[in-house]
Amino acid sequence: MPNADLLPSLLFKLNENQLALEAAIMELSNWVEQHGSTEVADNVRSALEAIDKNDEFIKMTLAVLMTPE
Protein backbone atom coordinates (compact mmCIF):
# COMPACT_ATOMS: atom_id res chain seq x y z
CA MET A 1 0.00 0.00 0.00
CA PRO A 2 1.52 3.37 -0.99
CA ASN A 3 2.10 5.86 1.82
CA ALA A 4 -0.53 8.23 0.40
CA ASP A 5 -3.15 5.51 0.85
CA LEU A 6 -2.39 5.43 4.57
CA LEU A 7 -3.26 9.09 5.11
CA PRO A 8 -7.07 8.72 5.23
CA SER A 9 -6.78 5.82 7.70
CA LEU A 10 -4.38 7.79 9.85
CA LEU A 11 -6.67 10.82 9.90
CA PHE A 12 -9.65 8.61 10.73
CA LYS A 13 -7.80 7.09 13.70
CA LEU A 14 -6.65 10.51 14.91
CA ASN A 15 -10.25 11.72 14.76
CA GLU A 16 -11.41 8.67 16.73
CA ASN A 17 -8.77 9.41 19.37
CA GLN A 18 -9.84 13.04 19.53
CA LEU A 19 -13.48 12.08 20.08
CA ALA A 20 -12.52 9.54 22.75
CA LEU A 21 -10.51 12.20 24.58
CA GLU A 22 -13.45 14.59 24.31
CA ALA A 23 -15.75 12.01 25.91
CA ALA A 24 -13.28 11.31 28.72
CA ILE A 25 -12.76 15.00 29.43
CA MET A 26 -16.52 15.55 29.44
CA GLU A 27 -16.90 12.81 32.05
CA LEU A 28 -14.27 14.52 34.18
CA SER A 29 -16.01 17.88 33.82
CA ASN A 30 -19.27 16.28 34.95
CA TRP A 31 -17.50 14.86 38.00
CA VAL A 32 -15.91 18.23 38.77
CA GLU A 33 -19.31 19.91 38.53
CA GLN A 34 -20.91 17.34 40.85
CA HIS A 35 -18.19 18.06 43.38
CA GLY A 36 -18.88 21.76 43.51
CA SER A 37 -16.82 23.47 40.84
CA THR A 38 -19.38 24.56 38.28
CA GLU A 39 -17.15 27.33 36.92
CA VAL A 40 -14.31 24.91 36.09
CA ALA A 41 -16.74 22.45 34.49
CA ASP A 42 -18.22 25.24 32.35
CA ASN A 43 -14.74 26.33 31.26
CA VAL A 44 -13.88 22.78 30.24
CA ARG A 45 -17.11 22.41 28.26
CA SER A 46 -16.45 25.72 26.51
CA ALA A 47 -13.01 24.50 25.48
CA LEU A 48 -14.49 21.25 24.17
CA GLU A 49 -16.88 23.15 21.89
CA ALA A 50 -14.07 23.46 19.32
CA ILE A 51 -14.09 19.68 18.89
CA ASP A 52 -17.84 19.68 18.31
CA LYS A 53 -17.64 22.58 15.86
CA ASN A 54 -14.93 20.89 13.79
CA ASP A 55 -16.27 17.33 13.93
CA GLU A 56 -18.68 17.61 10.99
CA PHE A 57 -16.02 19.12 8.72
CA ILE A 58 -13.55 16.41 9.71
CA LYS A 59 -16.09 13.67 8.99
CA MET A 60 -16.95 15.14 5.58
CA THR A 61 -13.28 15.51 4.66
CA LEU A 62 -12.51 11.95 5.70
CA ALA A 63 -15.44 10.71 3.63
CA VAL A 64 -14.02 12.48 0.56
CA LEU A 65 -10.51 11.19 1.21
CA MET A 66 -11.70 7.63 1.66
CA THR A 67 -13.87 7.61 -1.48
CA PRO A 68 -12.14 5.68 -4.28
CA GLU A 69 -11.43 7.75 -7.36
| Cα angle 32-58-45, degrees, rounded to a multiple of 5 | 15
Q: Phi first, then psi: what are they for 66, rounded to 5°?
A: -90, -5
Distance of CA 10 to the CA centre of its chain: 14
Find the mean pLDDT for residues 24-52.
Answer: 94
Summarised one tens digit per residue, pLDDT across range 35-45 is 999 999 999 99
Q: In the chain, what are the domain boundaries? A: 27-63
Considering the entire predicted model, what is its pTM? 0.77
Burial-class residue 29 by CB neighbours within 10 Å (0-12, 13-18, 19+).
Answer: buried
Confidence at residue 1, expressed as pLDDT on a 0 to 100 scale: 56
Q: Is the pLDDT assigned to residue 10 strictly greater than 80?
A: yes
